[in-house]
Amino acid sequence: MQSGHIDILMKMGLSLNEAKVYLALLKKKISQVGEIAALSGVPQKMIYYVLQKLMSKGMCSLIPGRVKKYKPTEPGVGIGSFITGAQKQIDSSKKMLDDLEKQYEIGQNETSSLECVEIIQNTTTVAQRVLSLERLSTEEVLSFNKPPYAMSERNLEELYGLKRGTRYRSIYQISEARNLIPRSVMEMYREAGEEVRISESLPMKMMIFDSRILMFALEECLTPPENFTAVIIQRSSLINALKELFELYWSHSITVEEFREQYKDSISPENT
């Protein structure tokens, strides 16, 4: 019996025993209760209850007689009804999502101008918020780029932004630039148009979007990873102050070419 099939059937709404019994029924055209118990591994004292549940869901039928027998409903019908129901639910969910997105946009436009500080948590939530802010940025995105990273996959929003003319400037730490994986990621964005500098160290993990929105990580909250906490600030003089800090670090950081020259003896061949 394939555990993968059982997992899928359970996600469709069947219990573990219902999934086991249905898969056992499929092995024969008609089965007696004892056979079903042996094939499914479900105790015989529970079989009648499970079979009744499957019958109510249209997944098997009873063949009456001196000895009760059961016949499975063909998968295209028995499971097909679940798939049809799931598809309807997906379609309804997509429509709801569209409606809620519109409602969210209206709400954002009506947000009070006094509301300028927001705290978000969870790695996935932080990553999605970064992507949405990048999507809305048309002028420049600045970043102190240091671990840990909220995104484990390629940032397509940055690549799209670079193509449409948004300027990206990122400062990486030397410790990261000397590692193979971070360096390969850095090189990919650099080849796409990101301007890169490298610093001995960075004071914080932060991004500034179009000089209007600041996002920075609370580093004391980064362990464990799911506690990733970020602060988003709008309409604050702090943004200008941290942008000046970025420019100061930018002016004192080295280029990728200078980094390669200075650290060529300590970088292994595979990292060059």
Q: Are residues 26 and 161 in the same domain?
A: no
Angstrom distance (rounded) from CA 184 to CA 156 = 16
Q: Please check whether residues 132 and 205 belong to one and the same domain.
A: yes
For residue 148, the domain's CATH number is: 3.30.870.10
Residues 251 and 159 in one domain: yes
pLDDT tens digits along 138-173: 999 999 998 777 776 678 899 999 999 999 999 999
Total-model pTM: 0.58
Please check the confidence at residue 30 and state whether its pLDDT lies above 50.
Answer: yes
For residues 272 and 69, which has the higher predicted lDDT (pLDDT)? 69
- Residues 59 and 179 both lie in one domain: no
Does 54 map to a domain? yes
| Domain stop point among 74, 91, 121 | 74
Mean pLDDT on 165-192: 85
pLDDT at residue 270 tops 50? no
DSSP assignment of 180-210 equals HHHHHHHHHHHHHT-EEEEES--S--EEEET
Q: Which of 51, 74, 97 is the last residue of a domain?
A: 74
Question: Which residue segment(s) compose the domain that 148 sits in?
Answer: 113-271
- In the chain, the number of structural domains is 2
Reported confidence tier of residue 13, pLDDT bands at 50, 70, 90 = confident
What is the tens place of the pLDDT at every residue in 210-256? 999 999 988 765 555 556 788 999 888 899 999 999 999 999 999 98
What's the helix, strand, coil split of the chain in %, to 5?
55, 20, 30
In this structure, the answer to whether residues 154 and 40 fall within a common structural domain is no
